[in-house]
Structure 1
Amino acid sequence: MKSPTLRSAALAPAAPAKSISTRGLIVAVTIGNAFEFFDLTVYSFFAVLLGKLFFPLATSQQQLLLSVGTFGVGFIARPLGGVMFGLLADRFGRVAAMNLTLLCMALGTGMIGLAPTYAQIGLAAPLIVLVARLLQGFSAGGEVGVATTLLAERARADRRGFITSWQFASQGAAALAGSLVGFLLSHFLTTAALESWGWRLPFLAGVLIAPVGLYLRARIGSDAHLAPDAVNGEHGVLRTVFTRDGIQLLFAFLLVIGGTSAHFIVLYYMSTYAIKVLHLPMDTAMWCGILSGAVMLVMSPVGGSWSDRFGRKRVAFISRALLTLLILPGFLAITDHPSVLTLYLVVCGLAALHSINAGATGPLLPELFPRSTRATGLSLSYAAGVSIFGGFAQFIVTWLIGATGAPTSPAWYVIVCGLISLVPLAYITERSGEEI
């Protein structure tokens, strides 16, 4: 029996999908993903400052741990959001579910931007940030899986890799934008101004993306439909994902582990690493994010295009294997010869390999699942992998460096996760070029 509350205007089937250009489709679908990663980028690059403002009673190392730990807590809610929004997308359409994730994301981001600091309201301050991160994580859990599903289903079979890869290119664009904002604020504002009000600006500006995203998504219309092999009822969809699609769910989860570990270390943690471990100025550190974001924006579509031409599995395997082999020498290079040039070259090289892998793996994930459970299966596997191995990556490697004294700890973390993600590529059936 379908709940009447779910048949609200937000979720009810509407007009069929409108005709829209490929470029318009990509922008409308990926804007929510870009919104999420813009916020994550800003939070990551101000992690040291946020630790000082919201956890002032702790030591410098503890402040950073608490700050990146709060960052990671938001990822706990991702699997729940992945299940909820995935089910909504499979039953009522991809667009309706994506619109709800965008609204939830905006609310969480606004809460961080307006949150009083510890000096103003005490312990309630970090609790507000914690709740906001949980809300953001809940919405983001459904956004990536549902949006990737929609792009893959709307794309032509022979261009599905290229079109879907823009979901991950948007993460690079967001990282680039967030890094530029962080760099400009830290460069042109005094320390006092940055700590007083400057850090709030990117979070509040990010909220403005929500109405723009809703407007753009209205142009692509509703895609509410049931697939020929549809499963009736919320519990039926979820049960089918774990029974009929259980092995696909596992394969997708393992693939996500390698990508998300590399993503959150190479694109987000390297700025913090440059400040805390290499003791470089904040302006210099911010350029790690700017460069890696620019590389991902350019190279993800290259990886997607190559996957259309040479096959997803081949491109995904080669790029993942190379990244797993080269990340330790890269970290050794920047710790043994900690120059700005060495740091930037290593970051760009690792980001290029990761981006190519993301561009090839992105279309591989929705191709694993049947249409009727695709959004739920992809959202759940992606959210679970990112929650465990991505969201807490910065916390884990920060703790490892402190506990072992080994500055190469981040590389070993990515190596272990990368090796795990190579396993399912031996068993996945190649579907590039086929209709899904």
Structure 2
Amino acid sequence: MSQSSPSQTPQIKSRLSAILRATSGNFLEQFDFFLFGFYAPLIAKAFFPSDNETAALLNTFGVFWLGALMRPVGAIVLGAYIDRIGRRQGLIVTLGIMAVGTVIIAFCPSYATIGIAAPVIVLIGRLLQGFSAGVELGGVSVYLAEIATPGNRGFYTSFQSASQQVAIFVAAIVGYLLNESMPAETIASWGWRIPFFIGCLIIPFIFLLRRTLEETPAFLAMKKHPTASEVFASAIANWRIVILGMMIAILTTTTFYFVTVYTPTFGKTVLKLSTQDALLVTLLVAVTNFIWNPVGGALSDRIGRKPVLLTIATLSFLTAYPALHWLVAAPTFGKMLAVEMMFSFYFGVYSGTMLGCLVEIVPAHVRTTCFSLAFALAAALFGTFTPFVATWLIDKTGDKASPCYWLMFGATLGIIAALTVYRGGQAIKQREAVAA
């Protein structure tokens, strides 16, 4: 045992380092995504002025969603690039595009300064971020899966999602300190930009980490790397797997955006809790999300993906309605924390399992493209649409607990997809490679 330890220790350190470098870009992506949701009311006033507060908020979340619609485009275009050129180079390119979008939003003048150009510029920034984010999660997940040790693929890929929670934690800390140190009027005027500026300052450091990534052995071992046209053709041929993957991912995306991006707005504007309370809940959610993701991945490595996916999806469907109705009946910090902790558990365990599932059911030679497309569709059509849908449902129904129906819908699709993918106890077979 003592003889093997010296050789094992460098390998462990090397893998930990690779996980850190690969997931660093997720920090920037999620840091900005969370800030956009948390400061949505202030962004609405700065770029989408309106006499109707709900209309301005819907416009802001609408831009948030339009950016997400670029995810499938990015998944196909950048996914094909990564499957052809390599994981390392592709992840550097996606980071560069994401950085440009972040800088644009941080420095864009307000509507009062440049008029209609302001929301147009913000939209461009969001479109660039969405284009990049379309393949960021898939590219990182595939990279982690391809460097995973045998029998631990779920555990390794879970750190893609777990890493994003660090960004939410840091963003919540920054927001909390900002609210404690600056008057509300100052934050509303220009102070909300400070966290975005901090994101810009982080960019060079993340670039340094990404540049030191090594290519995965699995990609280097491929005898032939498909051309862009071959990747596109194969993605179309495997449309059924992509759709099922999307359905499995929907519960992850809807729950995640509900407990992170939408929670601060929900706590402040709907439940009428303080900004500090909403931030503290979000901060604690980020901590538990980080913990539950690797737990879910490791658990699915031991007992299988199907039982974990089905159990969590069923629990989410059964408890979303009573939990939210209990919360909105008499909102308190403690009740909001309890409900968010429940959803955090669902998200973390399910997400940690779902990532390993998607990597395994898509064809290896177009793994990044198909994985990214499945998740991008889930995020664009459902996940990042969550804040908009939640705001719209509450406004139209008058029921503050109505967002539960959106979460229940995601759970239903997850159950159907998991039963289809793992019918007979075995995952559906991957399709053969499609020749150009």
TM-score normalised by structure 1 residue count: 0.91
In structure 2, the partner of 1:13 is none
Q: In the aligned structure 1, how far is the partner of 2:359 from the partner of 2:283?
A: 29
Alpha-carbon contact 1:47-1:64 (below 8 Å) kept: yes
In structure 2, the partner of 1:277 is 270
RMSD of the alignment, in Å?
A: 1.8
Following superposition, the deviation at residue 370 of structure 1 comes to: 2.2
Equivalent residue letter for 2:276: D
In structure 2, the partner of 1:11 is none
1:52-76, CA deviations, whole angstroms, 9 ceiling, x for partnerless residues? 1112233111111111111111101
Following superposition, the deviation at residue 352 of structure 1 comes to: 1.2
Q: How many residues align?
A: 413
**What is the aligned counterpart of 1:211 among 176, 186, 204?**
204
Q: In the aligned structure 2, how far is the partner of 1:19 from the partner of 1:91?
A: 29
In structure 2, the partner of 1:240 is 234
Alpha-carbon contact 2:317-2:408 (below 8 Å) kept: yes
Q: How does 1:237-276 map to 2 (within 5 A)?
A: 237-243=231-237, 245-276=238-269
In structure 2, the partner of 1:288 is 281
Q: How does 1:34-433 map to 2 (within 5 A)?
A: 34-223=27-216, 225=219, 228=222, 230=224, 232-243=226-237, 245-429=238-422, 430=426
Relative to structure 1, the CA distance from residue 419 to residue 313 in structure 2 (aligned partners, 3 Å threshold; closer, same or farther) is same
In structure 2, the partner of 1:14 is none
1:223-276, CA deviations, whole angstroms, 9 ceiling, x for partnerless residues? 494664746421111111221x23221211111112111111122212211111
Q: In the aligned structure 1, how far is the partner of 2:223 from the partner of 2:397?
A: 52
Which runs of 5 or more structure 2 residues have no equivalent in the other structure?
A: 1-10, 428-436
Which runs of 5 or more structure 1 residues have no equivalent in the other structure?
A: 1-17, 432-436
Alpha-carbon contact 2:249-2:378 (below 8 Å) kept: yes
- Find the residue that maps to 2:271 and give its secondary structure: coil
Q: In the aligned structure 2, how far is the partner of 1:133 from the partner of 1:331?
A: 30
Alpha-carbon contact 1:173-1:296 (below 8 Å) kept: no
Q: In the aligned structure 1, how far is the partner of 2:111 from the partner of 2:420?
A: 51
1:309-362, CA deviations, whole angstroms, 9 ceiling, x for partnerless residues? 111111121122112211111101111121111111111111112111111111
Following superposition, the deviation at residue 19 of structure 1 comes to: 9.9
Equivalent residue letter for 1:150: Y
Equivalent residue letter for 1:61: T
Relative to structure 1, the CA distance from residue 19 to residue 158 in structure 2 (aligned partners, 3 Å threshold; closer, same or farther) is closer
Q: In the aligned structure 1, how far is the partner of 2:208 from the partner of 2:324?
A: 43
Alpha-carbon contact 2:273-2:332 (below 8 Å) kept: no
Equivalent residue letter for 1:127: V
Equivalent residue letter for 2:62: G
Alpha-carbon contact 2:24-2:210 (below 8 Å) kept: no
Larger displacement relative to structure 2 (224-233 or 186-195):
224-233
Following superposition, the deviation at residue 400 of structure 1 comes to: 1.2
Q: In the aligned structure 2, how far is the partner of 1:284 from the partner of 1:351?
A: 17
Alpha-carbon contact 2:146-2:216 (below 8 Å) kept: no
- Find the residue that maps to 1:116 and give its secondary structure: coil
Q: In the aligned structure 2, how far is the partner of 1:105 from the partner of 1:278?
A: 33
Equivalent residue letter for 1:427: T
Q: In the aligned structure 2, how far is the partner of 1:289 from the partner of 1:269?
A: 10
Alpha-carbon contact 2:92-2:211 (below 8 Å) kept: no
- Find the residue that maps to 1:37 and give its secondary structure: helix
1:99-126, CA deviations, whole angstroms, 9 ceiling, x for partnerless residues? 1110111111111110111111111111
Following superposition, the deviation at residue 187 of structure 1 comes to: 2.2
Following superposition, the deviation at residue 209 of structure 1 comes to: 3.0
